[in-house]
Amino acid sequence: MSKYFLSKNLRKDLPSGLVVFLVALPLCLGIAMASGAPLFAGILTGIIGGIVVSSISGSQLSVSGPAAGLTVIVFSAIASLGSYQTFLLAVVLAGFIQIILGFVKAGIIANYFPSSVIEGMLAAIGIILILKQLPHAVGYDSDFEGDESFLQSDQSNTFSAIGDAFNKFSYGAVIISVVSLLILIYWPKIKKLSMIPAPVLVVAIGIVFSALFQNTQFALTPEHLVTIPVVNSFTEFMGLFSLPDFSQLSNKAVWTVAFTIAIVASIETLLCIEAVDKIDPIKRVSPTNRELVAQGVGNIASGMLGGLPMTSVIVRSSVNVNSGGRTKMSAIFHGIFLLLSVLFIPVLLNKIPLACLAAILLVTGYKLARIDLFKKMWHHGKDQFVPFTVTILAIVFTDLLKGVAIGMLVGIFYILRNNLRNPYFYKIEKNADKKVITIKLAQEVSFLNKAAIQGILNNIPKESDVIIDGTDARYIDKDVLEIIDNFKHNAYTKATIVQLVNIKDQYEIPPLKEAVLTKAH
């Protein structure tokens, strides 16, 4: 615990938490708006995700909150269940389901996400941030913050929104975003001044510029600014909370929604955790099962108080990493700042231009989708670059979960193809007038290798000496053993002599732990 309060870590975590808070604020509001929920529900979810989930989670850099990937599910669920209170019950139940998933160690599925797909997801999120934030950078704020899908809630799409933006831009917003970008790029290079985080300076300058532009042709309108609920008394604050309707516990529709939220939120969380670990400068590995439990507790708390379902969110987590966050305290600070902002400074926060926040996200997007990443994946070969590229295109033109699913299918295709190609080592030598062919089987020979083994045996030249060596094989599938046995039995028809070396009559599937250890070595 002491590491969380070391001054060297707090010096990084406190400003990083502030930056994440500034970015998360409009995202929480926008996702709540898109979900058809009260605006305060979005902020409340961010508060719980920051303080509660981060305290329990084993991940040091992931940031949890309301997720854009759940907006469609939430919007339709609220409508179908008839009341927001009934929907809150589904959120609570989803939390309990996630805790169960954590205890049965369902988080292990995160180990099976191909690296190329995770890299593609990160790059896609970067590209989406750039494309989605360009309209906000030029002052076209008709669509909500946090819309990550290609098809948007206002019936436009990513590219049409950019086209509309450049026909309806605000000169004041353009000036603020350009100045913000220059500060974000060049301020960190000035060593004497770099102690002041560039994003914090950007927000301060944005507020100043917004005030200076009043009563001029560059003036910003309310749609160009952050908008959070203003609470004037403790009674008003308490009135923002809602309780779940437990009388609907026997409603089958509630349980259907709960399972849907639990599964989708868990998958999105595991994807995010895997991605954040990849961009963690210290390369720490987050415990996935513990993360599912933490998310479950967070969703129970959110549902009990009137919030939205949450996940670990890649955008906020990426901002956290790029802002220099070191431990989970940065995410906790972001939750505390969200709470304090609602209570004490809503009026000041409502003066922050969306253009300066868009600039922060544009820089984050560029870092995620940097050119060097594309070069690296290209040099890794086609089996890495193709799934990487397909994942990017699929996410950009659909949404996060659909895009990752498509990328996974392509990634699995290449994994299976490589597996099919490498079930053996083939060597031909000459002994007098006869060919001596050695077929050395791989460590694992599954039914997927059946066609490749059958093909190589069918093409053995006549009158050869064949040695099939299973010394290294820990497992050979029964179908493959049958093919080898049939080949040996019929070899005399081709005047072929077959010698089997260390091939058993039957193999047992190795225990999971043993298989993992062998793979590691």
pLDDT tens-digit map of 31-55: 887 788 998 999 999 999 999 999 9
Q: Which of 70-79, 180-189, 448-457, 496-505 has the lowest mean pLDDT?
A: 448-457
- Mean pLDDT for the chain? 87
- Quick one: 504 and 375 in the same domain? no
Q: What local confidence, expressed as pLDDT, does residue 517 receive?
A: 42
- Find the DSSP H helices in 324-381: 329-344, 346-349, 354-368, 371-379
- Quick one: 105 and 231 in the same domain? yes
Which CATH number is 433's domain given? 3.30.750.24
- Quick one: 381 and 464 in the same domain? no
Q: Is position 122 within any domain? A: yes
C-beta contacts of 229-236 below 8 A and 24+ residues apart: 229/39, 229/40, 229/43, 229/342, 229/346, 230/346, 230/347, 230/350, 231/342, 231/343, 231/346
- Quick one: 221 and 328 in the same domain? yes
Q: Is the confidence at residue 412, as pLDDT, over 70?
A: yes
Q: Is position 335 within any domain? A: yes
- Quick one: 377 and 509 in the same domain? no
- Quick one: 236 and 285 in the same domain? yes
- Quick one: 444 and 366 in the same domain? no
Q: What local confidence, expressed as pLDDT, does residue 387 receive?
A: 94
The CA–CA distances, whole Å, from 377 to 34, 139, 369, 371, 410 equal: 35, 35, 12, 10, 15
Mean pLDDT in residue range 187-213:
86
| pLDDT tens per residue across span 352-382 | 998 998 899 889 889 989 999 999 999 988 9
- Quick one: 438 and 322 in the same domain? no
- Tell me the range of 187-191, 248-252, 282-286, 379-383 where mean pLDDT is highest: 248-252
How would you class 429 by CB atoms within 10 Å of its CB: exposed for 0-12, middle for 13-18, buried for 19 or more? exposed
Residue of 243, 344, 346 lying closest to 302 (CA atoms): 243
Q: What local confidence, expressed as pLDDT, does residue 143 receive?
A: 60
Q: Is the confidence at residue 516, as pLDDT, over 70?
A: no
| pLDDT tens per residue across span 418-455 | 666 665 666 777 766 778 888 888 888 877 778 778 88
Q: Is position 55 within any domain? A: yes
Q: Is position 4 within any domain? A: no
Q: What local confidence, expressed as pLDDT, does residue 45 receive?
A: 97
37 DSSP assignment: S
Query: The pTM is what?
Result: 0.78
Q: Is the confidence at residue 330, as pLDDT, over 80?
A: yes
Give the pair of three-digit tokens for residue 348.
């000041």
Q: Is position 283 within any domain? A: yes
Q: What local confidence, expressed as pLDDT, does residue 441 receive?
A: 86
- Quick one: 207 and 316 in the same domain? yes
* Number of CB atoms found within 10 A of residue 277's CB: 20
Q: Is position 417 within any domain? A: no
CA quadruple 342, 304, 79, 316: dihedral, nearest 10: 50
Mean pLDDT in residue range 65-85:
88
Q: 109 pLDDT band (50/70/90 cuts)?
A: confident
Q: What local confidence, expressed as pLDDT, does residue 177 receive?
A: 95
Q: What local confidence, expressed as pLDDT, does residue 152 receive?
A: 65
The rounded distance, in Å, linking the Cα atoms of 25 and 412 is 38
Q: What local confidence, expressed as pLDDT, does residue 510 receive?
A: 62
Give the pair of three-digit tokens for residue 493.
């028809």
Q: 518 pLDDT band (50/70/90 cuts)?
A: very low
- Quick one: 374 and 451 in the same domain? no
Q: What local confidence, expressed as pLDDT, does residue 253 receive?
A: 95
The rounded distance, in Å, linking the Cα atoms of 142 and 163 is 13
Q: To which residue do tokens 């669920």 refer?
A: 77
Q: To which residue do tokens 């993992």 refer?
A: 516
Helices (H) and strands (E) counted in the chain, each on its own, are 22, 8
Q: What local confidence, expressed as pLDDT, does residue 474 receive?
A: 85
The rounded distance, in Å, linking the Cα atoms of 40 and 412 is 42
Q: Is position 8 within any domain? A: no
- Quick one: 174 and 270 in the same domain? yes
Q: Is position 393 within any domain? A: no
Please answer whether residues 124 and 392 qualify as being in contact, where contact means their C-beta atoms are separated by less than 8 angstroms.
yes
Residue of 360, 363, 309, 298 lying closest to 78 (CA atoms): 309
The rounded distance, in Å, linking the Cα atoms of 331 and 24 is 11
The rounded distance, in Å, linking the Cα atoms of 351 and 254 is 40
Q: Which of 113-122, 479-488, 508-517 has the lowest mean pLDDT?
A: 508-517
The rounded distance, in Å, linking the Cα atoms of 415 and 280 is 26
| pLDDT tens per residue across span 231-257 | 888 888 888 899 999 999 999 999 999
Which residues constitute the domain of residue 440? 423-520
Q: 207 pLDDT band (50/70/90 cuts)?
A: very high
- Quick one: 333 and 480 in the same domain? no
Q: 479 pLDDT band (50/70/90 cuts)?
A: confident
Question: How many domains does the chain divide into?
Answer: 2
For residue 425, list its beta bridge partners: 440
More reliable by pLDDT, 177 or 358: 177
The CA–CA distances, whole Å, from 57 to 84, 107, 110, 140, 269 equal: 28, 13, 16, 37, 12
- The vertex-126 CA angle with 112 and 352, nearest 5°, equals 130
* Number of CB atoms found within 10 A of residue 505's CB: 7
Mean pLDDT in residue range 333-345:
93
Mean pLDDT in residue range 169-184:
93
Q: Which of 12-21, 124-133, 170-179 has the lowest mean pLDDT?
A: 124-133
| pLDDT tens per residue across span 138-169 | 888 666 555 566 766 666 667 777 777 777 78
